[in-house]
């Protein structure tokens, strides 16, 4: 049984990046709460056109902001599936893993490669749907 060895430095970098991301999201969530509190008072006294413009920007920005990571995830999964199919093994040699994993070959590797490609396609479809929703919100509240 062949084992694909984990890369300890990759694991360390990934865990540090994950911790940094969690900390950044917590800080941004607190800042968002304060900002929304201030905006709530301003928009309550504004005319409907101003509220519509704000709503338009917020919904379109939310759609685009969620579509970008979904598209990046989808592209990465598609690359993983393609590399696995070409090499006939899962995971591909060049890919780094967080822990030691058993290497799959032949039919099992092909099944995992197809799963990764389908998951990537689903993430790309989600990104496209979010972009369409953002475009609809921009048009609807414009």
Please identify every stretch of the chain with a pLDDT value under 70, giving residue numbers as ranges: none
Provide CB contacts within 8 A for 67, sequence distance 6+.
126, 127, 128, 130, 131, 134
Q: Structure pTM?
A: 0.86
Long-range contacts of 27-31 (CB under 8 A, 24+ apart): none
Q: At what angle do helices 48-87 and 106-140 cross, to 10 degrees?
A: 170
pLDDT at 41: 83
How far apart CA 77 and CA 74 sit, in angstroms, is 5
pLDDT at 87: 95
The two tokens of residue 107 are 């039919």
How far apart CA 8 and CA 6 sit, in angstroms, is 6
């Amino acid at each position: 049984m062949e084992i694909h060895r984990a890369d300890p430095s990759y694991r360390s970098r990934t865990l540090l990046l994950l911790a940094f991301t969690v900390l950044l999201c917590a800080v941004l969530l607190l800042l968002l709460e304060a900002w929304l509190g201030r905006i709530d008072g301003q928009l309550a006294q504004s005319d409907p056109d101003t509220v519509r413009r704000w709503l338009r920007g917020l919904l379109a920005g939310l759609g685009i902001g969620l579509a970008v990571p979904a598209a990046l995830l989808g592209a990465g999964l598609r690359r993983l599936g393609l590399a696995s199919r070409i090499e006939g093994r899962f995971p591909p040699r060049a890919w780094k893993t967080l822990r030691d994993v058993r290497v799959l070959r032949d039919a099992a590797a092909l099944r995992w490669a197809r799963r990764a490609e389908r998951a990537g396609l689903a993430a790309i479809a989600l990104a496209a749907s979010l972009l369409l929703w953002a475009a609809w919100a921009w048009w609807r509240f414009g």
